[in-house]
Amino acid sequence: MSARHLSRLNEAQLRAVLHPPNVPLQILAGPGSGKTRVLTSRIAHLIEQHKIQPSSICAVTFTNKAAKEMRERLTNLIGKDQTEQIKLGTFHALCALFLRRHASIIGLDGNFSICDADESKKVVTKLLKAHKETLAGPSSIISEGNVLSLISKAKAKGYSPEEFHRFLGRGDPSTDYAVIAEIYAEYEKTLRQSNSLDFDDLLVFGVRLFAHQRVVEWCKHVLVDEFQDTNTMQYELMRHIAASSRCVTVVGDPDQSIYGWRSAEIENLERMERDFPSTTQIMLEQNYRSTGSILSTCMAIISQDKGRIEKTLRTSNPAGFTPVLKRFPTEHEEASFVATEIKRLIAFTGGMLTWNDFVILLRMSSLSRTLEAALQREGIPCRVLAGHKFFDRLEVKDLLAYLQLVDNPYFVPAFSRVINTPSRTIGEKTVAEILAQADKRRISPVDLVERIHDGSIPDIKPPVRKKLASFVQTIRSLRLRAQEGESTSELIRHLLDLTEYEAWLRKTQPDWDSRWENVQELINFASEVERTTPAPREDHSSKEQPAEWTDSQAEFDTDALADAGGETPLRLFLQASMLSTDVEAQDESEKTPKVTIATCHAAKGLEWPVVMIPAVEKGIFPSARAEDIEEERRLLYVACTRAQGLLYLTHADSRMVNGRRNRQMVSEFILAVRSKLQMLFRDDLPNLKKNDRDVLTQVLNRDAPNESDVSRMVAEYQRTVKCVSTSARRSPSPYGRASSPTRTAWRDSPPAILPA
């Protein structure tokens, strides 16, 4: 047996990789114990050893960045060709992929656009305005933000508007919930009319698709990373995929569940055991990531979590450099310290560390400005990993909206955004009239504008007519190019020419030059997507007839950009940009070493040699707005456990928060365990000794077990695997928030039936 994908695994990890494909498996373990590594090796093993078709494997990661890393590792293990066939990505990206190809099965048009939070917000604002009179309740629950979040929560649970009212409003017609349920229903209708889906819809319709009898055969094996942060819809998706095959593997850590605020449900662990009886649990207890003293600091923090069940996590890494807690008068001294300390460490390690080895983790992205400025003063290059930010910029959104309209002429939010960008002096009333008429005639707004000469829109002056005609011409000509499969980078260049966008930026934006750079960055991103997105492979028929065929869908389809579900370069690009959860657009810059600034949420699953966490203060960490204090503590734990060799926590006595200078106190998470923390509390600079450098080198260059060790372990496993899978020791689980006596558990120490 080729041991390549089995090398560098310990015994418990190896058991997890070799576990029979059709026995449901939960790998629950602490940070840095190799869960993600095991998942990747298991995929390779399914393909290499069990000859499973790569195209029948669905591997789910939490971010696109994690997907990219997994793809790279798999490419190294099993080659590019096989890796490209695996359905690998976030739940959202996988749903988008399947819906594009097979939406018609559930009566949906595969040419849908993906609507971002901003566009959803605009729809809700309009609907709220229309319902203003009927809303009676306190204003706190009726802001757009709240309505959107309620709709999103309902969708994450899979509730229809009626169910939403029944469950949340308890069916009481006098409450605002009744109105919100109505807004929810109208919101859905509006999105469907412009043939668009929001992020939650991708999951809702994805589940509907996978619940369908005919699709069960597409994917048989499902493997999910970061399972502790799945919501109901994501769980349902996983359940449907594995319903008949029972080939399901999940890895996760209840101590790292940090997305409760986005409807993640830790109960999914229990649900899985109910839905998949005889689910086996394997526990990993060896941490490979961090030094001993970082690990004990992390354990001291998480041990305060009230609902937690104690578990073991040990490391054979050296104790290493003691984590540092430092206090500063204000955020400015704190930021300067961070910058100078980074330089000092680089000098101290004689270049062993580069800028890439440092991360600054923030509870909220608004804290980053002061830090960015301090790094800049010291000449330290940095990148900011701050969620969707790049795609939120005005110029990027303008161009994306044009491309969305080219892809889907029915997409109203895109039409509304670009009809006057660059300005065509069309009044709001005229735009509203265009949309209303288009809706009435069930044609796209672009089609309606094309027909202005027949008097459909009154009061349009000849110069405006001319501009509108040129607008339609632009969309039509780009659409033709897209249909012919032109690359998106070329398409954007034509778009810029046709709309004279640069001149418009110069005229209207004082900082037009940096905006123009972002436009160029978008072109780079398009080239990157073209280079890295595997060409679509048709694994099954993509042209099924819809279950129910309505007139409106027929009309949408006659105007389809490509065959229903066709993945044109433009569509792949739009999907990649709409679903970007991190800084893919800046991935190019990863080649030049830079210090990373990221939110703690975005750092999930990743690791760095040096982690610095500023503003560990009351009101910030935990956030004053947090509903679940334990989730905040877990977030701090996630942040600290990213560190391999060095960990710094800092706090300031005074800080500008929301435009006001506040007196700050160190976080209660630290105060509570101060005596237990193995930390440097002195205010002087940490004294780096030669020994620290050696330890760092050791942690960062771990040794792999040699080939003969692996072969021996595989042989041992194979001798015993049969009896293990039928009669594994039963014991209550030390994992999860509530334990279940029915689980079978394997820990690092092998079950009794394994040879010692």
Decide if residue 667 touches ligand ATP (CB under 6 A).
no
Q: How far is the CB of 229 from Mg ion (least distance, A)?
A: 11
| 713: CB partners within 8 A, 6+ apart | 11, 14
* Residue 82 bears catalytic tag: no
Cα 99 from Cα 87, distance rounded (Å): 13
Q: Which does 655 bind (CB under 5 to 8 A by kind): ligand ATP, Mg ion, none?
A: none
Kindly tell me the burial class for residue 289, based on how many C-beta atoms sit within 10 Å of its own C-beta (0-12, 13-18, 19 or more).
Answer: buried
Cα 602 from Cα 378, distance rounded (Å): 25
Q: How far is the CB of 29 from ligand ATP (least distance, A)?
A: 6
Q: Which is nearer to ligand ATP, 288 or 717 (CB)?
A: 288
Q: Which is nearer to ligand ATP, 48 or 607 (CB)?
A: 607
Cβ atoms of 35 and 253 within 8 Å: the answer is yes
| 440: CB partners within 8 A, 6+ apart | none
Which residue among the candidates 225, 236, 395, 617 is catalytic per the annotation?
A: 225
DSSP assigned state of 736: S
320, 546, 605, 686: which one contacts Mg ion (CB under 5 A)? 605
Nearest residue relative to Mg ion (C-beta): 36
Cβ atoms of 602 and 387 within 8 Å: the answer is yes
Measured CA to CA in angstroms, residue 158 lies from 9, 26, 133, 231, 233 at distances of: 39, 24, 29, 10, 6
Which residue among the candidates 37, 633, 642, 747 is catalytic per the annotation?
A: 642
Interface map 224-253 toward ligand ATP (x if CB under 6 A): -----------------------------x
Angle made by CA atoms 414, 467, 480, in degrees to the nearest 5: 60
Angle made by CA atoms 648, 649, 652, in degrees to the nearest 5: 130
Decide if residue 58 touches ligand ATP (CB under 6 A).
no
Cα 443 from Cα 323, distance rounded (Å): 63
5, 15, 19, 37: which one contacts ligand ATP (CB under 6 A)? 37
Q: What string of DSSP letters covers 2-69?
A: --GGGTT--HHHHHHHHS-TTS-EEEEE-TTSSHHHHHHHHHHHHHHTT---GGGEEEE-SSHHHHHH
Decide if residue 34 touches ligand ATP (CB under 6 A).
yes
Which residue among the candidates 190, 230, 256, 568 is catalytic per the annotation?
A: 256
Strands 324-330 vs 643-657: parallel, antiparallel or unpaired: parallel
Interface map 683-712 toward ligand ATP (x if CB under 6 A): -------------------x----------
Q: Which is nearer to Mg ion, 43 or 522 (CB)?
A: 43
Q: How far is the CB of 362 from Mg ion (least distance, A)?
A: 21
Nearest residue relative to ligand ATP (C-beta): 34
Q: Which is nearer to ligand ATP, 3 or 185 (CB)?
A: 3
* Residue 226 bears catalytic tag: yes
Q: Which is nearer to ligand ATP, 37 or 326 (CB)?
A: 37
DSSP assigned state of 245: T
Cβ atoms of 439 and 193 within 8 Å: the answer is yes
Q: Which is nearer to ligand ATP, 65 or 102 (CB)?
A: 65
User: Binding residue per annotation — 552?
Assistant: no
User: Binding residue per annotation — 34?
Assistant: yes
Cα 572 from Cα 263, distance rounded (Å): 28
Q: How many residues sit in the footprint of ligand ATP (CB under 6 A)?
A: 19
33, 190, 195, 263: which one contacts ligand ATP (CB under 6 A)? 33
Interface map 267-306 toward ligand ATP (x if CB under 6 A): ---------------------xx-----------------
Shortest CA distance to 384 belongs to which of 369, 374, 394, 396?
Answer: 369
Q: Any idea of the CA torsion for 713, 718, 719, 724, to the nearest 10 degrees? A: 100
Decide if residue 5 touches ligand ATP (CB under 6 A).
no
Q: How far is the CB of 159 from ligand ATP (least distance, A)?
A: 31
Q: What string of DSSP letters covers 95-119?
A: HHHHHHHHGGGGT--TTPEEE-HHH
Decide if residue 36 touches ligand ATP (CB under 6 A).
yes
Which residue among the candidates 35, 397, 571, 604 is catalytic per the annotation?
A: 35
Residues in 582-611 that interact with ligand ATP by CB under 6 A: 605, 607
* Residue 35 bears catalytic tag: yes
Q: What is the 3-state secondary structure (H, E, C) of 582-643?
A: CCHHHHHHHHCCCEEEEECHHHCCCCEEEEEECCCECEECCECCCCCHHHHHHHHHHHHCCE
Q: Which does 292 bind (CB under 5 to 8 A by kind): ligand ATP, Mg ion, none?
A: none
Cα 347 from Cα 336, distance rounded (Å): 17
Q: Which is nearer to ligand ATP, 33 or 64 (CB)?
A: 33
Cα 597 from Cα 371, distance rounded (Å): 9
Cβ atoms of 99 and 206 within 8 Å: the answer is yes
Phi, psi angles (nearest 5°) of residue 197: -125, 140
Decide if residue 68 touches ligand ATP (CB under 6 A).
no
User: Binding residue per annotation — 645?
Assistant: no
Decide if residue 10 touches ligand ATP (CB under 6 A).
yes
Q: How far is the CB of 253 from Mg ion (least distance, A)?
A: 8
Q: What string of DSSP letters covers 201-227?
A: HHHHHHHHHHHSGGGTTS--EEEESSG
Considering only 6-14, 269-277, 650-658, 742-750, which stretch makes contact with ligand ATP by CB under 6 A? 6-14
Q: Which is nearer to ligand ATP, 42 or 326 (CB)?
A: 42
Q: Which does 289 bind (CB under 5 to 8 A by kind): Mg ion, ligand ATP, none?
A: ligand ATP
Q: Which does 33 bind (CB under 5 to 8 A by kind): ligand ATP, Mg ion, none?
A: ligand ATP
10, 26, 33, 36: which one contacts Mg ion (CB under 5 A)? 36
Q: Which does 10 bind (CB under 5 to 8 A by kind): Mg ion, ligand ATP, none?
A: ligand ATP
Shortest CA distance to 646 belongs to which of 309, 318, 187, 238?
Answer: 318
Q: Which is nearer to ligand ATP, 36 or 90 (CB)?
A: 36
Considering only 30-38, 298-306, 536-544, 670-678, which stretch makes contact with ligand ATP by CB under 6 A? 30-38
Q: How far is the CB of 34 from Mg ion (least distance, A)?
A: 8
Residues paired with residue 28 on neighbouring β-strands, in sequence order: 252, 283
Decide if residue 292 touches Mg ion (CB under 5 A).
no
Torsion region of 442: left, alpha or beta (phi above 0 gives left; psi -120 to 50 gives alpha): left
Binding residues for ATP, by number, are: 29-36
Applying CB under 5 A, which residues contact Mg ion?
35-36, 605
- Binding residues (CB under 6 A) for ligand ATP: these are 8-10, 13, 29, 31-37, 253, 256, 288-289, 605, 607, 702
Catalytic center residues: 35-36, 225-226, 256, 642
List, as residue ranges, the binding site.
29-36
